[in-house]
Amino acid sequence: MAHTLANPDGLHDPVPFGYSHTAAVPEGTQLVLVAGQYGSDADGAVVSPDFAEQVKQAFRNLGVALAAHGLDLGHVVQLRTYVVNHDVAKLAPIGAAIAEGWGSKPPVNTLIGVASLATPDVLFEVEASAARP
């Protein structure tokens, strides 16, 4: 892995919430930036009106985007997740997807509640910064 994650003493344990506090990328590492991925099929149509299904598909799509550069989820340093009409109940499917992808070493992540995304049927979006050693 090209980066290191840290959860310093004096800050709460963020791992159960699906993120780490800090990430450091060593000098000479190439950053690969992935635009917001949403719960779409290969034609761009939203796969389901269900929030949890959109989250799962968005993370699958993130994996496909990373693979185009020879990377996988383990190369992700930072996520930004966008949630339409965020409420606490929406944390569970997001946390489950992050735990499935990263286990006990989740990347840095900021959740951003938004009023809407590109189209009314898109309920979730994830963008990423990945590090290539």
Q: Three-state SS string across 103-129, please? A: CCCCCEEEEEEECCCCCCCCCEEEEEE
**pLDDT beyond 80 at 2:** no
Give the homologous superfamily in CATH for domain 4-132: RutC-like (3.30.1330.40)
**pLDDT beyond 80 at 1:** no
Q: 115-128: per-residue pLDDT in tens? A: 999 999 999 999 99
Cα separation of 67 and 75, whole Å? 10
- The residue-averaged pLDDT of 7-32 equals 94
- The residue-averaged pLDDT of 13-28 equals 93
- Is the distance from CB of 82 to CB of 109 less than 8 angstroms? no
